[in-house]
Structure 1
Amino acid sequence: MGDIAKDINSKFPNNRIKAHINIRYTANWINSKESEFFKPYGISPQQYNILRILRGSGDKIKVQTVKNRMIERAPNATRLMDKLLEKNLIERTRCEEDRRVVYVNITEEGLLLLSEIDQSFNLSLLKNLTDEEAKQLSDLLDKIR
């Protein structure tokens, strides 16, 4: 089990600064691990997030709704969706009443990919935590926000 002070060879003036750096360092570590995991599937963690949002919606939803629900508010969400569209994982349609409104939904191919990912995507990144510790961590992160 690593210690942030040893991992980045640094001393911290107080525990709040240490916690802040630790959150950022750990988030970066998780992002790196997720990117590695999704590479063989040909999608990014952000694209996975979009596909999960669309699967959860059960029907077509506005592009703006997807952007609002994303974990990472990606300014390039439209480009991420373009790439999913090219791979036939999502579909896009314009609203007939208001041409400025664009809807998206997940395709059968997108659902199949998510199903495949679900079978191998485990939470091994958090394997060192008990269920109670994971709840405590989640509660503390909520408290920060």
Structure 2
Amino acid sequence: MGDISNDIKSSFKTNKVKALINIKYTANWLSSKENEFFKPYGISPQQYNILRILRGAKGKIKVQIVKDRMIERAPNATRLMDKLCDKELIERERCEHDRRVVYVKITNQGLELLSAIDKHDKLSFLEKLSEEEANVLSGLLDKIR
């Protein structure tokens, strides 16, 4: 089993400092694993999140709602959606009554991509955790926030 002290060759003044560094280190590690996983599909983890949100919406929704539901509050969400439009994975539509409002929806091609991704185990890097441990970890992270 890994130990953050060994991984980064450092010691810590307190266990709370060690926990904070471990959370940051692990978050970066997880981000790297996600990027590796999504690379063959030609999308980023943030774009995957947008596609998931749109699949769950089951129809067109406002761009602002997508931004509000994103796991990572990406200031570049509009640019991420532009790239998904270019790949024909989502479609944009302006509101007839208010030109400032833009709706987006997932295309059939986007749904097919998600279906292909769903067939692979995106969480294989979490296989060392039992369901109970994952629940405890999630509770601890919620407690921090």
What's the TM-score bracket when you normalise by the shorter of the two chains? over 0.9
Local SS of the residue matching 1:91: strand
> Aligned-pair distance for 1:122?
3.2
Is the 2:37–2:122 contact (alpha carbons within 8 Å) kept by the matching residues of 1?
A: no
Aligned residues: 145
Within 5 Å, give how 1:18-29 maps onto structure 2: 18-29=18-29
Is the 2:84–2:90 contact (alpha carbons within 8 Å) kept by the matching residues of 1?
A: yes
Local SS of the residue matching 1:99: coil
CA distance in 2, matches of 1:140, 1:105: 35
Aligned to 1:100: 100
Is the 2:47–2:84 contact (alpha carbons within 8 Å) kept by the matching residues of 1?
A: yes
Within 5 Å, give how 1:58-73 maps onto structure 2: 58-73=58-73
Within 5 Å, give how 1:23-38 maps onto structure 2: 23-38=23-38
> Aligned-pair distance for 1:123?
1.3
Local SS of the residue matching 1:120: coil
Is the 2:93–2:104 contact (alpha carbons within 8 Å) kept by the matching residues of 1?
A: yes
Q: Identical aligned pairs, as a percentage?
A: 72
Aligned to 2:122: 122
Aligned to 1:139: 139
Is the 2:88–2:107 contact (alpha carbons within 8 Å) kept by the matching residues of 1?
A: yes
What is the aligned-residue RMSD (CA, Å)? 0.6
Local SS of the residue matching 2:117: helix
CA distance in 2, matches of 1:26, 1:46: 18
Please report the TM-score for the alignment, with normalisation by the length of structure 1.
Answer: 0.98
CA distance in 2, matches of 1:125, 1:25: 15
Please report the TM-score for the alignment, with normalisation by the length of structure 2.
Answer: 0.98
Gaps of 5+ in 2: none
Aligned to 1:76: 76
CA distance in 1, matches of 2:122, 2:51: 17
Local SS of the residue matching 1:10: coil
